[in-house]
A and B are shown apart, each in its own frame.
Chain A
Amino acid sequence: MRRPRRRKVGGAVPLAAWLWAAGLVAWAGHCRAGERLVIKGSDTIGAELMPPMREAYIGQGNDASFEIAAEGSATGLMALMEGGKDSCQIAMSSRELSATERLRVKMEGLDFLEIPIARDGIAVVVNARNPVACLTRQQVEEIFAGDIADWSAVGGRAGPIAVYARGASSGTRSTFQKMAMRGRDYASGARKMAGNQQVAAEVASNPNGIGYVGLPYARGRDLRVMRIDGRAPSAESIRDGSYPYSRPLYFFVRGQPKGQAARFVEFVLGPDGQRVVREHGFVPLDGAR
């Protein structure tokens, strides 16, 4: 009886030692993380553009480890405001700073730098089975605000319109609200989806669905991109501004970026980065070769 008990008591000391050692290792790892690049924010940028950008960057022989979290522009901007350098170095955003964010940056004296990295169109998509091919901007506003609730009102087959919007943390959501809806509230029946991909998947499965996604996401057998006022979104129509719903995508950093972050930003803005932008369906910046 006594033996096993003794062994158990003795076991506690090495256990504590192990825990302590593990903690030490974790702490040491934390200290080393200065080399790591933490990028947070927009789903539009983070899901489609950042992974190939990272590959290209590392492919050029840069030794960096990335941590990318793409849960919506607001999350990245908030992390950049609140955290120190460890929690977020670059915030991706598909919109400019909101009024409250600008106020906060000013009040806390944060040195925010806004760096446009690409342009992107927001495509209005419907199910491929939907006969409607073109909408006016007025109609888009009325559909997303809930004034028009049936496809027959815009020349389609009768059926209740199912609006798929993005969740509240999305920059695409608020950009679209400003650009396409004159800042009006979304219809109360609008579904809130977590990402571009989810909007695309649901619209593809629902014959009465309509939604908006970043242009690179607007592909798939069961999806159709709407022409707006007769204009389809494309690299040309976005660059010359004839497609109404286009916007710049941004990086936000605090102060002049240094070290790894500076090199990465420079890479993204350089010819190689802008090539990645083009290859993945976004529109490069004007000055880019």
Chain B
Amino acid sequence: MNEDESAPARGSQVGGHQGEVQAGGEGGLAAALRGSRRGRAFLLVIDSWARTLFGGGAMVAILILVLIMVFLVWEGAGFIPEHHRSLVLYRRTGQEFVDAIRGPLVEHQALNRYLSRVRATDVDEMRKRGVGEAEAGEWLAAFDTFAANFRAAGAPLRSFVDGAAAVALDIKGRSQGWQGSDAAREANRLRELLPGATAALGEFESALRASMASVPASAGRGSEHAWARFRDMSGRLAASIPGAVARATAWDPDRPVPMGESLSAFFLGRRWAADSEWHERYGLLPLLIGSLCISAVAILVAVPFSVAAAIYVSQFATSAERGLIKPTIELIAAIPSIVLGFFGITVLGSGIQWLSGQPWMSWVPFFPVTERLNIFTAGLMLALMASPTIFTLAEDALRGVPVQFEEGSLALGATRFQTAVRMVVPAALSGIIAAVLLGFGRIVGETMVVLLVAGNRLEIPDFTQGFGALFQPAHTMTGIIAQELGEAPGGSLHYRALFMVGLTLFVMVLMINCATEMVLRRFHRMRG
């Protein structure tokens, strides 16, 4: 590279391969003119060595990338048959049968949870209206009786399901050494439970309808909506019970599971339960949605700030300001992510929690925040991490706009602001978009910060709470790999599921980078 350094500054600004070759040739020529024939021969040898070395380096990089891809696909592809086997087992050993009966019970539990939220709204409503102590107490007593009745409606079905689950688990435990006829005999053990299941479900339905007849009146207008929703949902639950009976009746341990279900259960699954004795579930959705929510927050926060800073630094700042701002922002990228994560927990997380608890913040509906590890905090931290990337690239793009554009605009009497907003930014727009996309890629792939700050709850955030969902914890695709790969035995279904998550992540980031490349190419064509 000596030639390159010594090449005169007038060399092409384009950089890239063409420039280098040209500069190299020029340097060699100058030396050869000055030196002997032997010197020139030596130069040529060096030249070919350098070419081999650099070319080799590039080849190695490409090779390693291909190796990574092959490795990911290899390990991930094994997931499909393995997961399929697990789903077949789920059907054959009767977990599916029991889960069909259990379905309404799970819904019932969600309704119980919703009911306690309704109670909180009602109490709030009464406090707002200034209802007297006695009246409120009376209402609460009525409510609690109803809630207890409603909860009790599920008790007989639950004990039935517990019994059936024990049978299914027993079958699963013994399924290892099955001969052909064993499976049929074991399935009959479960089929014998069907009349009992139908009866228990019917009883549950009538108990549900009976308790619904005595729904207490809502405490005020504010909670009427919540009550209406509760009535609606419990009506739907009662109506769904015949469907559950039908599903349990239709259970057939020998019905084949289509191979595609292995994939759809992964990509559309809403539950990730790796250490379940009952049935390991690997559903991507909670992780994907967690990752996307956090990234969305991060992008929404990072883009305005870093693009504005880039516009300021490239268009308005004096060179002294530029010399201060640019290195400072870029320094953020040098902070180790574990340090940022630690900061996120102890300072930002606790700070937001404290702030949301202040009396003057109480008008915000979902404040105070009880969880200090949540989507919002993680998003803010990632915004901080992505802003140097976005800032630097956007600033480069803005400075790349030919100075003639600017001068022309100024000469026509536009102000600096008009020039910046109407002339320079549109001209550099694709560069800015590329910067944002690269920042997005960085955010999606970040691991340590989200592992520490996002709260790691494997559940899809409850979006019925509106923006309050942003203050719930979530888990991410990167976080789950970091957290669980260490304990997943090599080659197991769990291990392969984590590779599938990694593969999905890789494809996502690859697509983002491709999009960036396409945008940039357009940018060059426009400029060129």
Known: A168-B275, A191-B456. Contact between A162 and B371, CB under 8 A?
A: yes
User: How far is A223 from B244 in the complex, measured between Cα atoms in Å?
Assistant: 43
Chain B stretch 393-411: residues in CB contact (< 8 A) with chain A: none
Whether A272 is near chain B, meaning CB under 8 Å from some CB there, is: no
> Which residue of A159, A183, A188, A190 contacts B370 across the interface (Cβ within 8 Å)?
A159
- Which of chain A's residues have a CB closer than 8 A to the CB of B372? 202, 205-206
Interface size on A, residues (CB 8 A): 46
Whole-angstrom distance from the CB of B506 to the nearest CB of chain A?
A: 22
User: How far is A90 from B456 in the complex, measured between Cα atoms in Å?
Assistant: 30
Interface digits, B448-479 against A, CB 8 Å rule (1 contact, 0 not)? 00010001111100000000000001010000
Whether A59 is near chain B, meaning CB under 8 Å from some CB there, is: no
> Does A167 lie within 8 Å of B484, measured CB to CB?
yes
Chain A stretch 182-198: residues in CB contact (< 8 A) with chain B: 183, 185-186, 188-194
> Does A153 lie within 8 Å of B34, measured CB to CB?
no
Whole-angstrom distance from the CB of A82 to the nearest CB of chain B?
A: 8
Whether A173 is near chain B, meaning CB under 8 Å from some CB there, is: yes
> Does A78 lie within 8 Å of B489, measured CB to CB?
yes
Whether B350 is near chain A, meaning CB under 8 Å from some CB there, is: yes
> Does B370 lie within 8 Å of A72, measured CB to CB?
no
> Does B487 lie within 8 Å of A162, measured CB to CB?
no
Given contacts A168-B483, A168-B487, A169-B487, 12 further A-B pairs with CB under 8 A are: A2-B31, A5-B46, A74-B486, A160-B116, A167-B484, A169-B484, A173-B275, A183-B277, A185-B273, A191-B373, A202-B372, A206-B372
- Which of chain A's residues have a CB closer than 8 A to the CB of B39? 2
User: How far is A174 from B475 in the complex, measured between Cα atoms in Å?
Assistant: 20
A contact patch SS: mixed
Interface size on B, residues (CB 8 A): 46
Whole-angstrom distance from the CB of A10 to the nearest CB of chain B?
A: 13
Whole-angstrom distance from the CB of A97 to the nearest CB of chain B?
A: 13
Whether A4 is near chain B, meaning CB under 8 Å from some CB there, is: yes
Quick one: closest B residue to A150, CB to CB? Answer: B116
> Does B120 lie within 8 Å of A189, measured CB to CB?
no
Chain B stretch 38-60: residues in CB contact (< 8 A) with chain A: 39, 46
> Which residue of A192, A201, A205 contacts B458 across the interface (Cβ within 8 Å)?
A192
User: How far is A8 from B112 in the complex, measured between Cα atoms in Å?
Assistant: 75
Whether A146 is near chain B, meaning CB under 8 Å from some CB there, is: yes
- Which of chain A's residues have a CB closer than 8 A to the CB of B116? 149-150, 152-153, 158, 160
Whether B2 is near chain A, meaning CB under 8 Å from some CB there, is: yes
Whole-angstrom distance from the CB of A121 to the nearest CB of chain B?
A: 22
> Does B456 lie within 8 Å of A192, measured CB to CB?
yes
Whether A1 is near chain B, meaning CB under 8 Å from some CB there, is: yes
> Does B120 lie within 8 Å of A158, measured CB to CB?
yes
> Does B274 lie within 8 Å of A168, measured CB to CB?
yes
Whether B84 is near chain A, meaning CB under 8 Å from some CB there, is: no
Whether A207 is near chain B, meaning CB under 8 Å from some CB there, is: yes
Whole-angstrom distance from the CB of A48 to the nearest CB of chain B?
A: 20
User: How far is A189 from B286 in the complex, measured between Cα atoms in Å?
Assistant: 11
- Which of chain B's residues have a CB closer than 8 A to the CB of A162? 370-371
Quick one: closest A residue to B120, CB to CB? Answer: A158
- Which of chain A's residues have a CB closer than 8 A to the CB of B345? 201
Interface digits, A1-38 against B, CB 8 Å rule (1 contact, 0 not)? 11011001100000000000000000000000000000
